[in-house]
Amino acid sequence: MNCYKHEDCHDIAVCAICGTGLCKVCENETTYRKNKRALCKKCNYNYGVEIEENYKLQSGKKTAVIIINAVFIIIGLVIFIINKFDLTGAIIMLACWCFGSYISSFFDNTVTTKNNKNSESIFSGPIQIIIAKVIGSLLGLILKLIIRAIFAPVLIIANFLGKIKIDRLIADNKIILEKIKV
Ligand SMILES: [Zn+2]
Ligand SMILES: [Zn+2]
């Protein structure tokens, strides 16, 4: 098979998507690679568009995380102020922050929590140990919730920085796409 573009050149590779022949020059000049393999002109463009859509999806998810956390942080703060900065207000505020950060975790693929390893039941052993375990896991749960609540502002900053980075990638990709437009 000969190169799809340079008809007198023998192919040394094939496009990773459509399987058309690519000569050495075309193999070298590919803009994108799929699984480290070169692409023809048309597939380069389509692949670039696909990458852009993927980036946009990620950027949108980060916006969602920012908005959700910001809304719940503000609601929490307002409740805290209405309660004149008392303990009840503080607890409700943290609960709001925690809830926001939990809801937003469905959109967040930067922080993935995989802690299903310890599936050992807390209800095994003598009664004293069970009580200790229940209190321990309750404290653990409260601690986890507090950490999650405090994490809400961190999530906003992290996702904001991540979004800036992705939006820059989208802009760079747009320039590349413009150059290889068919
Ligand atoms: Zn192709
Ligand atoms: Zn070629």
pLDDT (tens place) for every residue of the chain, 182 residues total: 899 999 999 999 999 999 999 999 999 999 999 999 999 999 999 999 999 999 999 999 999 999 999 999 999 999 999 999 999 999 999 999 999 999 998 987 654 444 444 555 667 778 888 888 888 889 999 998 999 999 999 999 999 999 999 999 999 999 999 999 86
Structure letter (DSSP) for residue 105: T
The token pair that represents 122 in the structure block: 């807390």
Ligand 1 centroid to Cα of residue 21, in Å, is 9
* CA 25 vs CA 4, 44, 121, 145, 181: distances in Å: 12, 15, 62, 57, 19
| Structural domain boundaries enclosing 100 | 64-180
Ligand 2 centroid to Cα of residue 157, in Å, is 46
Quote the pLDDT of residue 182: 65
Quote the pLDDT of residue 112: 47
Q: Is residue 22 part of a domain?
A: no
120 — phi, psi (to 5°)?
-65, 130
Ligand 2 centroid to Cα of residue 39, in Å, is 11
Whose atoms come closest to the Cα of 15: which ligand?
1
Q: Is residue 97 part of a domain?
A: yes
Quote the pLDDT of residue 126: 84
Q: Is residue 10 part of a domain?
A: no
Q: Is residue 44 part of a domain?
A: no
Ligand 2 centroid to Cα of residue 52, in Å, is 26
Counted domains in the chain = 1
Q: Is residue 71 part of a domain?
A: yes
Report the predicted TM-score, pTM, of the whole model to 2 decimal places. Answer: 0.78
What is the C-alpha separation between 102 and 170, in angstroms, rounded?
28
